[in-house]
């Protein structure tokens, strides 16, 4: 090809890109609009859903102030990262998308208990007060739970399955210390009846809403790629339980697609899950519940192989960006994903008050719960009061968990389950009673602050996949014997330390760690400091929206000669045979701290903070 041909080709590509920008359409949606309008700023549409039917790759939908009670179901996706379909709340305006409707005409039943009768025709083809929460790995505690919910002034009430509990205001106590307002429902062929104890509030004078839609923003079909959703308040949806062996529907979800950006949103009051990066229904939906003759792990392996046959790969699935969202008051998870989140970034999200009611439970509950976090980045998230903080379950390979702040989580901060690695956990602040629950192999834990115990165990009864490097392609299956981990330059402030790895089958690598209070090193660690008489006195203090870490550091931390952690130091994992490298395969080194400050290459500081000083410190960590 000569130079003239190259110039003509470059000019053609440039003209095509300019043309696509010129012909992109900007649609506007307003509560004062009309779907018979043309969608311009001066003649906006009335509903987001109508704009979604019109939008084509490159188009932008700007939504103006107001509450939109609808489920947005994108009909089309973008064509590429540069030619997206963008849904954006107008700058400076509060735009709410709600899966609920306002309910009036309550009648007093007894004392503070009110009753409303709703014709079943009100719900159309989906009635959440007949739909029972169910699915693989769901624990109902011996009673039924509906996907419906009742809200008083934007606060959810507590469902009970016994009408008498509504009359006496009895139910399970709230772990978040909230006042209990119980409700109960029953249905026949014609009507749905809801009873609620509003404890002195008149529901006809307050804002009372109920869930009526399964989701707020979710495509009906997979493969709606390159969509951006930015700046909305999304809430109050009748979401169903979302296990890894089912289609996962959240308040907002990507539905087995590629290249979404979910950013700057406030997501709350999901019956189960806030954001889903999940798989499709065709590869299996609650397969274990439908066939309990085989164990759940076998079923999930079959789902994985069906997904591969259906095209699960970097080309078609994942590579999402989920950033700067605030997620709270969801009873299953803040963010959950099964295989659909591969190659994605989950960054700078504030996730709290997950699983606070504790009326039901299950094996898929966390601030962030991911199956198949291949080459995923989980960075700078603030996660607290969620039960379990981050749960990477199956196929964490090339995953990096870095710079996260976690505390007041009652189960643990980080749970790594049946992974073979390599995965990297660095520069995190883990302050809950259990900091790390390790049922995996092949992890590297570097420059973290652990202020809770470490729990380790083998898992011999399940054989789980490991993959070809930076790929969804399965290379093999293996159970978990324990060990093959790396621990460098961490602070273990209390609880247990690395002594839990003394008898693992595969030895760990460790060095440069510091142990305070009762924490102890592994019996083969060559280079460490242990000061069991010293207490760093760690605590979290909130000042408005800011979060400060108070701690005391001893001068003895400087006595260690710490290694700079690199690809070369960490080596390769035993089973996958993969090195600890960046997602693009390039050389890795941990040369910055929690704040992004450059680390000393000759002797980096122990813990997440480089040269933070000694004595009593107050560090702004969020």
**Ordered domains of the chain (ranges, CATH):** 100-211 (2.60.40.1180)
CB atoms within 10 A of CB 561: 9
What percentage of the chain exceeds 90 in pLDDT? Answer: 91
CA distance 531 to 574: 33
- Average pLDDT of 91-108? 98
| Predicted confidence band of residue 613 (pLDDT cuts 50, 70, 90) | confident
List the strands of the sheet with 107-110, edge to edge: 107-110, 113-119, 191-197, 182-187, 158-159
Residues 299/245, Cβ–Cβ less than 8 Å: yes
Give the residue ranges of DSSP H helices in 320-377. none
CA distance 406 to 423: 19
| Predicted confidence band of residue 180 (pLDDT cuts 50, 70, 90) | confident
What own/partner pairs with CB < 8 Å and gap ≥ 24 does 19-26 have?
A: 20/57, 20/58, 20/83, 21/58, 23/58, 24/58, 24/59, 24/60, 25/54, 25/55, 25/56, 25/58, 25/59, 25/60, 26/59, 26/60, 26/61, 26/62
| Predicted confidence band of residue 11 (pLDDT cuts 50, 70, 90) | low
Please name the residues in contact with 144: beta carbons below 8 A apart, sequence gap of 6 or more: 132, 161
Q: Which two tokens stand for residue 517?
A: 């209070």
Q: Which residues pair with 187 in a beta bridge?
A: 192
Q: pLDDT for 364-386, tens place per residue?
A: 999 999 999 999 999 999 999 99
- For residue 174, pLDDT over 80 is answered with no
Q: pLDDT for 321-365, tens place per residue?
A: 999 999 999 999 999 999 999 999 999 999 999 999 999 999 999
What's the distance, CA 9 to chain centroid?
43
Taken as a whole, the chain contains a residue count of 622
**What rounded mean pLDDT belongs to the chain?**
94
pTM of the model: 0.95
Residues 388/238, Cβ–Cβ less than 8 Å: no
Q: pLDDT for 113-142, tens place per residue?
A: 999 999 999 999 999 999 999 999 999 999
Return the residue matching tokens 């976090």. Answer: 373
Q: What per-residue confidence (pLDDT) applies to 10?
A: 59
Q: What per-residue confidence (pLDDT) applies to 178?
A: 56
Q: Which two tokens stand for residue 488?
A: 């460098």
Is 592 strand, coil or helix?
strand
Query: Can the peptide bond before residue 422 be classed as cis, meaning omega within 30 degrees of 0?
Result: yes
Residues 183/158, Cβ–Cβ less than 8 Å: yes
């Amino acid at each position: 090809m000569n130079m003239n041909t190259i110039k003509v080709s470059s000019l053609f590509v440039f003209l095509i890109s300019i043309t696509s920008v010129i012909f992109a359409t900007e649609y506007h949606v307003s509560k004062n609009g009309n779907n018979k309008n043309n969608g311009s700023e001066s003649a906006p549409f009335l509903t987001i859903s109508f704009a979604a039917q019109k939008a084509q790759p490159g188009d932008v939908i700007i939504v103006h102030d107001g509450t939109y009670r609808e489920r947005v179901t994108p009909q089309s996706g973008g064509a590429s990262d540069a030619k997206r379909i963008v849904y954006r709340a107008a700058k400076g305006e509060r735009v709410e998308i709600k899966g609920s409707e306002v309910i009036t005409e309550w009648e007093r039943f007894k004392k503070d208990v009110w009753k409303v009768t709703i014709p079943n025709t009100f719900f159309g083809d989906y009635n959440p007060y007949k739909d029972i929460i169910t699915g693989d790995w769901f624990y109902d505690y011996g009673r039924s739970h509906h996907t419906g919910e009742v809200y008083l002034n934007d606060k959810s009430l507590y469902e009970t399955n016994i009408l008498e509990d509504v009359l006496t205001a009895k139910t399970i106590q709230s772990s978040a210390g909230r006042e209990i307002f119980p409700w109960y429902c029953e249905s026949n062929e014609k009507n749905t009846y809801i009873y609620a104890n509003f404890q002195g509030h008149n529901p006809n004078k307050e804002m009372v809403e109920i869930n009526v839609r399964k989701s707020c923003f979710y495509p009906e079909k997979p493969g709606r790629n390159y969509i951006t959703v930015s700046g909305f308040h999304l809430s109050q949806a009748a979401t169903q339980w979302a296990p890894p062996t089912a289609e996962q529907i959240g308040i907002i979800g990507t539905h087995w697609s590629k290249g979404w950006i979910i950013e700057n949103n406030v997501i709350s009051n999901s019956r189960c899950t806030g954001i889903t990066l999940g798989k499709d229904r065709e590869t299996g939906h609650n397969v274990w519940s439908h066939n309990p003759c085989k164990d759940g792990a076998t079923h999930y392996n079959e789902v994985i192989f069906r997904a591969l046959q259906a095209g699960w790969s970097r080309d078609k699935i994942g590579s999402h960006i989920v950033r700067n969202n605030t997620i709270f008051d969801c009873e299953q998870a803040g963010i959950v994903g099964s295989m659909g989140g591969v190659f994605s970034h989950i960054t700078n999200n504030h996730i709290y008050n997950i699983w606070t009611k504790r009326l039901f439970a299950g094996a898929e509950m966390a601030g962030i719960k991911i199956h198949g976090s291949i080459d995923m980045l989980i960075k700078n998230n603030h996660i607290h009061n969620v039960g379990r903080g981050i749960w990477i379950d199956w196929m964490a390979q090339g995953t990096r968990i870095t710079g996260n702040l976690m505390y007041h989580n009652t189960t643990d901060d980080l749970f790594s389950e049946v992974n073979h690695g390599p995965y990297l956990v660095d520069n995190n602040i883990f302050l809950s009673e259990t900091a790390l629950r390790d049922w995996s192999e092949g992890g590297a834990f570097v420059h973290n602050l652990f202020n809770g115990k470490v729990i380790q165990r083998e898992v011999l009864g399940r054989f789980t996949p490991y993959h070809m490097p930076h790929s969804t392609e399965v290379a093999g299956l293996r159970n978990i014997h324990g060990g093959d981990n790396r621990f460098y330059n961490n602070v273990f402030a209390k609880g247990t330390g690395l002594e839990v790895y003394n008898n693992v089958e595969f030895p760990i690598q460790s060095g440069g760690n510091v142990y305070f209070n009762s924490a102890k090193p592994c019996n083969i660690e060559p280079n460490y400091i242990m000061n069991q008489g010293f207490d760093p006195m760690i605590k979290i203090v909130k000042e408005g929206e800011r979060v400060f870490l108070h701690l005391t550091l001893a001068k003895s931390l400087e006595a260690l000669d710490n290694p700079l952690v690199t690809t070369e130091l960490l080596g390769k994992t035993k089973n996958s045979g993969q090195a600890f490298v960046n997602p693009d395969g390039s050389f890795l080194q941990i040369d910055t701290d929690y704040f992004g400050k450059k680390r000393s290459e000759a002797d980096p500081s122990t813990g997440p903070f480089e040269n933070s000083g000694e004595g009593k410190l107050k560090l702004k960590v969020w």
